[in-house]
A and B are shown apart, each in its own frame.
Chain A
């Protein structure tokens, strides 16, 4: 049985976290991985309508670039073993914003820390728009 440990090291190597100094090798966690976790976690919270942004602009951005829809509204800043996250969201009209936003913050913090082992320093939730069910039907 292997008892060698991998350690996630501090540092940002070209948009990815570099891990080395272990006998087994390196673990690199890209910022996009963290953005994906953030996207999935945020969208699973009751009261969150969707990640903010224009579908039209995002579709064009996806065709031109490599970033997935919604990831443009998520920014991840890596500082060593610490990560600061900023996410722009559209929430459901009528929901209690501080409650939903706090749930988003705590869920993102626990999910990112559990999955990546990184320390989440701060989660900034930007409530971009409030959408109701009528807007959903129109779309």
Chain B
């Protein structure tokens, strides 16, 4: 007797059940099957939502004839922090390297703490973006960052330390 036969027999018994206990079991069984199916669909949707779009990158790779050079997101963050902290009234608090799922392009998210009441945020952000791009090109020898998003998380009265 195959497994298919056993399953079909079980379904036949459940569907033709007249006994009250068997009917209760039948209701419970089908409720369980439906709940499982709904949960599976929800899980699939969650996985789809989280897997699509952008994700955090761990770094980028430069291949050459001797092997490859992998620059980690931490190294990139160190460079960006160094560049940002060299600008007056700017302190880089967090740097994220984001990779696009669709086209594998790299983006930077730079979070800042800015100081000084007379600071022109737009101007300063533009300077910072340009300096970061120049610095990445100069120090890493690559031009792989497509864009830099600047987030001003906090504004303090005095110059951030």
Contact = CB atoms under 8 A, between A and B. Distances in A.
A102 B64 contact: yes
Contacts, number: 69
A126 B66 contact: no
B22 interface: no
A97 B141 contact: yes
B9 interface: no
Contact of B139 (A85, A94, A105, A128): A94
A98 B140 CA distance: 6
Interface string B96-109: 00000000000000
A126 B72 contact: yes
Nearest to A99: B141
Given A93-B78, A93-B79, A127 B71 contact: yes
B80 to A, nearest CB: 10
Contacts of B140: 97-98
Given A97-B139, A98-B141, A129 B68 contact: no
A80 to B, nearest CB: 18
B67 interface: yes
Given A96-B139, A105-B67, A122-B68, A128 B79 contact: no
Interface range on chain B (Cβ under 8 Å from partner): 20 to 34
Given A97-B141, A125-B70, A130 B64 contact: no
A96 B135 CA distance: 10
A56 B75 CA distance: 20
Contacts of B7: none
Interface in B18-75: 59, 62, 64, 66-72, 74-75
B75 A130 contact: yes
A102 B139 contact: no
B72 A129 contact: yes
Contact of A105 (B59, B64, B74, B138): B64
A109 B67 CA distance: 10
30 contacts: A85-B67, A93-B82, A94-B82, A94-B139, A96-B138, A97-B69, A97-B139, A98-B141, A98-B142, A101-B69, A102-B64, A102-B66, A105-B64, A105-B66, A105-B69, A106-B66, A109-B66, A122-B67, A122-B68, A124-B68, A124-B69, A124-B70, A125-B69, A125-B70, A126-B69, A127-B72, A128-B74, A129-B74, A130-B75, A131-B78
Interface of B: 59, 62, 64, 66-72, 74-75, 78-79, 82, 138-142
